[in-house]
Every structure is written in structure tokens, then in C-alpha cells.
Chains A and B, each alone.
Chain A
């Protein structure tokens, strides 16, 4: 279960085939009539909550087709269940590439395969920094702010508000946890060694993190950076509170769900927790009359009526699909895999209304990190309240 927790599916397009007439150029998967987009997503298994992402992407493409498609071509969205299992993802990805002749979804297990096959692997739904490595994996691109970016934003906030902080870090002992930790230490810069007074790791197989919290507490730290997946996040919030430790608490975006983390931990124990966001929270009353969220709600009612309108994953899927739509639009009539990748790497301040105000998507030939800005938010006992400016890590 470990490292793959947050490396879920992704999207992809692609295609090929014969060099067509005139200026129109195609690779497998694209033609005058349609563009195939492949996807794997966990619809079953331990991460099936992410299934909402795949469903809302499919719904979004139905909407695009109803509007006449992209440059006159319909989208053919093929989505397979990977069960959150790497071997199964490989199997499904191969099926998409070899048999259905599309591009594909992804995760670590198919990372190299997709690059060897030169199939664009776009908008991998995970925050691991390795999806933004344009040099070694030119055919793979992430989408959301990566873990290091997010951690650097917290580090910057600490340096600004508490330059003399004594920091304790709890992290999951795998790629995901270490990615965050690295970004955090980089963000603190030369101060890191001095400011971080305690670090404790845990394995996903451990029943509780109580022992780690006690270790961190006894370090005397007054800031706590909590890099944990939902179950352990809830345990850590509760254990810190019950032990009487009251640090300024930064919680990674991975576990900032009120319903599935803060409520089980105990709402009163979570007050004051700081985390970050980049898409609009569908339950936030502030967006009740927001045009972007209204459009999303209309979309949900018409194309995804079974979807849960309080589930942020449905906003996520919608926004990711809108990004892909833009890339395919930019491709015009040159639907080669190479051009898809080229266009994906030429997004300039592209704005989608479900992203928080001030956040845009920009990429470049060496910038494979589409979203690099987030805004901090603090839990007030009922909901998260955004505060401060949007903080961008865009170079």
C-alpha cells in the first residue's frame, strides 16, 4: 500500500496512425472524427474514493461532446479500473496503448513504459514531485501542486510568522512522506537544521502513532508539521491534543478533509489547524453564488447526477478534464502524440473557474508542474477559512 497511496490514475491522450491528408496529422487514437483518451482509475479497492475523479472526468467529456466536441472531434473516453494495484494498472495501461490505441493513465508502475512508448501521460493525479521531471520523463506530466511545492509554502509561512520556531515533523516513511520533508527542509533553507528539533517517521502497518507524538512532544517543539495519510492524521491530531501539546499545527493537503479526518479526530481537537488549498471547496458557503462553482453545480446536475456534490474529488475531476480540453483545443488539427505533449507544455496562465481566485495553470518545455500556487487556510471549528494571499512557487 505504501508509496502508491497517492499516485493514482492519470489521464492521457494520444494517438497515431497514418499520416493523413493535408495539414491534418494524426497518431494512433486520433482521427477526423474522434480523439481517444485513456484513463485508469481505482473504482474498486482501498482507494475507491478516488473513483469519483474518473466518473466526473467522463461526465465532463460527455458535456464537451454535447457541445460539439473539440475542433469538431468527439472525445472517446476509455476508463479502466486499476483497483489501486500497480500490476493491474500496468495491464490496463498496456491494454489502452496496444489494443485500444490511446494514451493512458498512470502511476509509477507505468511511468517508464509510457515514456518508452512515447505516449503522453498527462495530469497524473498525485502530488509526487517525480511527475514534474521534464528532462528524464518528457512524456509524463503531473497536474496538482506537488508535495514539495506545498511543503515550501508552509515553510515560507513559518519563516514569516515564527522565525524562531522549534519545529517537529511527523512523516510517513515512504516516497510521499520524504517528498514533503525534502520540500519543507529546502523551504526553510539554511535554518532547517536549527529549526527542526525533532523528526519521527511511521510505517503504514503501525496500529497507532501515539508513541511518535509523545517523542515529538517531549522535544519541546512549538510548531508541528503533520505529513500523514487520513487515518494517521486523525490519530495524530487526537494524540497531540490529548497529551496536552498545543503547537501551531500544519497539516498536509492530503488529509485536510473535515468529514473523514477532522471529525473522527474530534472537531474541537482540530481547531486552529493550518493547511492549504488550490481548488474551491464545494461545501464552502463563500462560493454559493460563485459563477465558476455554479457552472460546476449545473454540470453535476446534468451530467453526473449520481455524484456527491460535497465531494471535492468531483471538482478535481472537472478541473483536470477542463485542462485536458484546453490542451486538445490548442492541438488544432495536428493530433500527434508529440504535439499533444508540446501543447500541454505551452499552457500560459490558463484559468479555470473552479480553481481558487488568483491561481492559474502555466507550463513550459522545462516546467512540467501545471499548478504551483496555493492559499493557506485555517480550521475554525466548522470549516476551513482561507487567509493571506495566494502563494505561488512559479519560477
Chain B
């Protein structure tokens, strides 16, 4: 029985990792109606910025805030410089740009910081730990929930959040009511990059920082976001936790470790087949 409990708690911890990146995916989807394949690499790169700051002697929390800010600016820049030119291009062209971004960020990070793994500090006091979870695992889960709450409040209760949702959903009408759609998209990229940076800094102490840190996680984050509903932040977090726990329990007791990765893939295909909008997402109906 203890074995099951241990696996569930370890699953919640890894699930929290998936959830935090899934939030960034949901964020960019809310703002642009696109799924960004380079989201994980952007988060990884931001984490290296944080690592450099901490190593240069900046305290953890100042470095944390500075990194979120830098990530935001870089996100806006990427949208303006790289994404804007393909704004009206077919979806496939955009996907190619995303994949290009992924490869470029990965290689540049390896070139600058090398491929050797680096340890990344955790800011949480030992008191936060519970019997079967490390202080960092508990802290990272809490941070994910805080980000979730902030996103919810932002989209639900601020005019800017409303404008962003409108710009993503119906650009033409939004423009007619005076929303600057172009800037809303850039802002969406900035926010997604900032959320990703937080995810990266929470993930790195657990999996160690290296240029390929996010590549495996991204797949699980997709599964998490789809399961919860790609337009629902709350759904993404629930999805992440469910994927983490399910994967551990099935891997340890049912199908074996070899098939763990398959769980994520089956979930992606299954959700798309049975309930494309996920468990918490809104069903899109468009009038033709």
C-alpha cells in the first residue's frame, strides 16, 4: 500500500512539472490559437538566463523576477521579428517556423552553455517538505497553482485579458471595436514566455538543467493540455497531475516501465478522438 502511495505522490510531483509547461501552452493558445512547439525550448533558454544570473551573484528571487521579465521581452520580440512575417501564412508554414525556433534555441543553448548537466538552486525552505515529497516538489506545485490563479484572474477580470481572448477568437471584430490585435498577439507571446520561464525554473532543480531538459516534458505537457482542454488553464493543471499519476501507477503496477511513454501518446490520440475539446475545454461551434 505504501508503494502505491509513494507512486501517487511522485506522480503528483512530475505531474506538477507537466502542468506548469502545459499552462504556457494554454496561454499561447488563448492568445493566438496556435500551439507553439518551441515553448519548451523557450522555457529552457530562460532557465539558463536565470542560472547565469544566479551564478553571477544575483540573489535567487531577484534573478527569478528578472528572468520572468527578460523572458517576457524576448517572447514579445520573437513574435514581432519571427512570427509576424508568417502571420497570414498557412498553418503548416507556421509550424515549420516553430520547429525552426525549437532547433535554433536548443543548439544555441548547447553552444553557449555546453551539454553538461547543471544543478539549479531551489528557493524553498526545508520546512515545506512533507514525509514523501521534497520541499522543492511541494513548492513547485504551489507555484504552479499560484500561476494558475493569476492567469485565471487575468483572463477573467481584467480588460486586457478580455481583449486578448477576443483578439484570438475573432481578430476582425476585435479590430473593429478598437483592439490592437497585433499587439495582443505579441503580448500573448510575452506572457506565455514568462509562464514558461517560471515552469523552467521550477523544473530544473528536479530534472537538472541541460539543453534537452524540456524535450521529453513537452510531449507530456501536450497530453496534459489536451486532456484538460487546450483553452482551459485549470484543465491543463488537472490534466498534468492526472497524466503524472496515471503514468506512474500504470508504469509501476500494470504495463511496465517500457510502455510509460505510450500512456501519454494514447491519451493524446484518445482525447482527440473521443472528446477533442478535453474535459474542461469549451466546445467550439462556428457558424458557416
Contacts and interface: CB of A to CB of B under 8 A. Distances in A.
A, B from the same assembly: yes
Q: Give the bracket for the number of chain B residues in contact with chain A.
A: 35 or more
A273 B11 CA distance: 27
Contact of A260 (B117, B212, B217, B220): B117
Contacts of A261: 117
A264 B118 contact: yes
Interface in A180-237: 200-208, 210-212, 214-215, 218, 230-231, 234-235
A261 B118 CA distance: 9
Nearest to B115: A46
A365 interface: no
Interface residues of A, number: 33
B138 interface: no
A202 B251 CA distance: 10
Interface stretch (B69-77, B178-186, B255-263): B255-263
A201 B117 contact: no
A206 B6 contact: no
B116 interface: yes
B208 A264 contact: yes
Given A206-B216, A211-B248, A260-B117, A201 B258 contact: yes
A212 B251 CA distance: 9
Contacts of B203: 207
A251 to B, nearest CB: 15
Nearest to B18: A207
Contacts of A207: 14, 17, 203, 206-207, 216-217, 220
Interface in B106-159: 110-111, 114-119, 134
B257 A202 contact: yes
Contact of B207 (A45, A173, A230, A235): A235
B6 A214 contact: yes
A389 interface: no
A356 B211 CA distance: 35
Interface string B204-221: 001110111001110110
Contacts of A47: 115
Contact of A263 (B111, B119, B215, B248): B119
Given A203-B260, A207-B14, A218-B3, A48 B252 contact: no
Interface in B6-63: 6-7, 10-11, 13-14, 17
